[in-house]
Structure 1
């Protein structure tokens, strides 16, 4: 009986070892998959935040949610939800070109009047 008991104990021990290897091996694979998934989610969250900042920047640049929505529609991008307007998005993403500011428009107008007046004076002289 001693030999049979010994074989039984060895079989039980081997079965438990295989079950543990299977369980912990599957668990390790699951943990690895979960780590990869978590890493991808954090990467996508960062990209989503950047996209939302650009979207808010475009909203700030165009001055209208409807124009921004029409732009995305024309590009074939389906946009759902409202466009968040982050006050810092205009400065974070891009600065409004100087030629589109009121000060620059005024300066261009003054320059155009000045050059036209200078041309008239030159012609007169």
Structure 2
């Protein structure tokens, strides 16, 4: 009988060890992934601010809401929910004076220049990039893009829900304590059930991606793919809004001369 009891104790110890390794190993792995995810979010925040700023420059030269709406319709892009236009003073800091014989030529050069800059930084923001490592000049640091972070957050949330459900602290502690049947029986007889009820404060919270400081920007096609459409758009805009275009260049000229 003692041999059977000893064998049961050894099996219980082995099962307990494996359960602890699985429980704490999975939690540690998830915690490490969450730390890495948050660090990548912080890296991307700077790129997001630059992308949002360049989008503001682009909107700043699109005159008004009607022209902005026509611009996105021309490119078959869903117009952003929040269209923030930077004032002429800030627009002038991001683009040099454009010279041409005609108003249409000047406006076309201005829009194509700003569009190319906007497309480049938004593409970097959406799909990621590499930047120089300040501590090791010959090495590069990968910056994860917005779209990859969205997929990563979904995957982490699935793992969090699975871990909270299948490997909750209460379930694991209940299982472990259940290995000692004699103690459980004594506690139940004394009115102290084997259920632990210790999930509160120990469950992982899912990632609320919408609360992160990461703008959801539209994808702008490369300039080479839409240049013809943009040139026609500029011509039509100058024909229908000539005075407003002249006023834009007059206002920008004040800051280009400063």
TM-score (normalised: structure 2) = 0.33
The structure having more radius of gyration, on CA atoms, is 1
Mapped to 2, the partners of 1:20 and 1:11 lie a distance apart of 14
Mapped to 2, the partners of 1:73 and 1:104 lie a distance apart of 26
* Superposition map of 1:91-110 within 5 A: 94-95=94-95, 97=97, 99=99, 101-102=249-250
Higher normalized helix content (fraction of residues): 1
1:69 alignment counterpart = 69
User: Can you give the 5+ residue segments of structure 1 that lack an aligned partner in the other structure?
Assistant: 106-125
Q: Deviations over 1:83-120 (max 9, x none)?
A: 1234575256x135254643898xxxxxxxxxxxxxxx
Bigger shift: 42-51 or 17-26? Answer: 42-51
2:111 alignment counterpart = none
- Assess, with a 3 A threshold, how the Cα gap between structure 1 residues 9 and 27 changes in structure 2: closer, same or farther: same
- Assess, with a 3 A threshold, how the Cα gap between structure 1 residues 24 and 68 changes in structure 2: closer, same or farther: same
- Assess, with a 3 A threshold, how the Cα gap between structure 1 residues 76 and 40 changes in structure 2: closer, same or farther: farther
CA RMSD of superposed structures (Å): 3.2
Higher normalized strand content (fraction of residues): 2
Mapped to 2, the partners of 1:49 and 1:57 lie a distance apart of 12
Quick check: 1:72–1:78 contact (8 Å CA) kept in 2?
Answer: yes
Mapped to 2, the partners of 1:3 and 1:18 lie a distance apart of 23
Quick check: 1:57–1:90 contact (8 Å CA) kept in 2?
Answer: yes
Larger RCO of the pair (alpha carbons < 8 Å, separation 6+): 2
Quick check: 1:60–1:85 contact (8 Å CA) kept in 2?
Answer: yes
1:8 aligns with 2:5: no
User: Can you give the 5+ residue segments of structure 2 that lack an aligned partner in the other structure?
Assistant: 100-105, 107-248, 254-258
- Assess, with a 3 A threshold, how the Cα gap between structure 1 residues 86 and 17 changes in structure 2: closer, same or farther: farther
TM-score (normalised: structure 1) = 0.59
Quick check: 2:92–2:252 contact (8 Å CA) kept in 1?
Answer: no
